Amino acid sequence: MADVKFEIKKSYGVIGEGTKGWKKEVNLVSWNGRKPKLDIRDWDENHERMGRGITLDREEAEALREVLQNIDLSEIE
């Protein structure tokens, strides 16, 4: 299996932390030298290992922002 290359171009913030110290982060990441995308996933403290996540291009990020703005957070426990 080929190594996955990545570069975190910008960190937007941490939105959660797991019991093992990994943090769920929102970052702008370039994967394998491609154009950077919005990325949401768990990372170890040194950004050497990562969990499964989701990457979004600009259009998808805009759609997600609109959906999130319309969520009634009182419905979430």
Which CATH number characterizes residue 47's domain?
2.30.31.70
Q: Is residue 67 a contact partner of residue 61, using CB atoms and an 8 Å limit?
A: no
Per-residue confidence (pLDDT) for residue 77, from 0 to 100:
85
All residue ranges of the chain with pLDDT < 50 are: none
Residue 33 domain-assigned (yes or no): yes
3-class DSSP assignment, residue 61: helix
Residue 20 domain-assigned (yes or no): yes
Q: In total, how many domains does the chain have?
A: 1
Residue 1 domain-assigned (yes or no): no
The Cα 45–Cα 66 span in angstroms is: 31
| Residue 23 half-sphere exposure toward CB, CA atoms < 13 A | 12
The Cα 31–Cα 65 span in angstroms is: 22
Token pair belonging to 47: 């950004």
